[in-house]
Structure 1
Amino acid sequence: MSNNSLGSAARQSVRILLWQLAGVVAMAAIGGAVFGARAGWSVLAGGGIGLLWTAYMAFTLFRHSLNHGAQLGAASFVMAWLVKLVVTFGLLVIAFRSTAMAPLGLIAGLFGALIAYWVCLAFGLSQNKSATGK
């Protein structure tokens, strides 16, 4: 295994993304079954917006891991955060203006993606566990 800590962080981000995706899909299925298809699709859209955060971070970490973080700095971190923020708010504005989306479903999906992220970190679900347990 490589000593590249950015590559390890990128792999951890991908594992978090997969857990988030599973959580959002489960929430959308439950929301769709209980409140109707419109609510289910809205939860899926809101969760998808939340998943973009993790996907963007995984991509950024992977990109920087290729050169072992040679170009990684505070300005790069701030710019990535600003891009993520602008894209998220832009997509939320578009989704809220759509009549096809239920606003509470969008919020529930976004909130569910964030909760899945923190649960994954809090309980170590994103950690790489070896077969020996070390």
Structure 2
Amino acid sequence: MSNSLGRTAGQSLKILWWQLAWIAAAALVSGVIFGARAGWSVLAGGGIASVWTAYMAFTLYRHSLNRGASLSALTFVTAWLLKMAFTIGLLVIAFRSRVLVPLGLIAGLFVALLAYWVWLAFGLSQRKPAASGSADRGKG
């Protein structure tokens, strides 16, 4: 994608995959150590938290298709309010569920948010893949 919203949407999708990988790993570890119910709870909590990233990536991508012609501060505030309402609603349902462990839900939320902020804090989106070194051989 050639516009900045498209690149930002692409970065949001990379962050989403990063989050999902860490959530899955945490759910697997929790499931092995504390049992399947705890693992599913971590997965549910992390999934709820990753809805934030997925929704914003979708919003950015949708607006990148028309080069941001209809994008405004109101659009971002509205998207933020919708994702917060959706997330709070999902959390209320999850915490009322007798199937999920509340501490596991919180752990899943924590892992997803930690993965998100680690990505941003350490600039993982700025890192370039390691070069093979063949291009630098002729320089001296």
TM-score by length of 2: 0.89
CA distance in 2, matches of 1:76, 1:90: 21
Residue of structure 2 equivalent to 1:65: 64
**What is aligned with 1:29?**
28
Secondary structure of the 1:32 match is helix
Give the structure 2 partner of residue 107 of structure 1.
106
Structure 1 SS opposite 2:14: helix
Aligned residues: 131
- Larger RCO (CA within 8 A; separation ≥ 6): 1
1:20-99 map, 5 Å: 20-99=19-98
**2:5 is paired with a residue of what secondary structure?**
helix
Root-mean-square deviation over aligned CA pairs? 1.4
Larger radius of gyration: 2
Secondary structure class of the residue paired with 2:77: helix
In structure 2, the gaps of 5 or more residues are 132-140
Structure 1: how far apart are the matches of 2:129 and 2:65? 24
Q: Which runs of 4+ in 1 moved over 4 A?
A: none
Find the residue that maps to 1:117 and give its secondary structure: helix
Deviation per CA, 1:55-97, whole angstroms, max 9, x where unpaired? 0011000001011111111111111011000000000000000
Letter of the aligned partner of 1:95 in structure 2?
A
Counterpart amino acid of 2:19? Q
Corresponding residue for residue 123 of structure 1: 122
Q: Identity percentage over the alignment?
A: 69
TM-score, structure 1 as length reference: 0.93
Q: Which runs of 5+ in 1 are unaligned?
A: none
Amino acid across the alignment from 2:55: Y
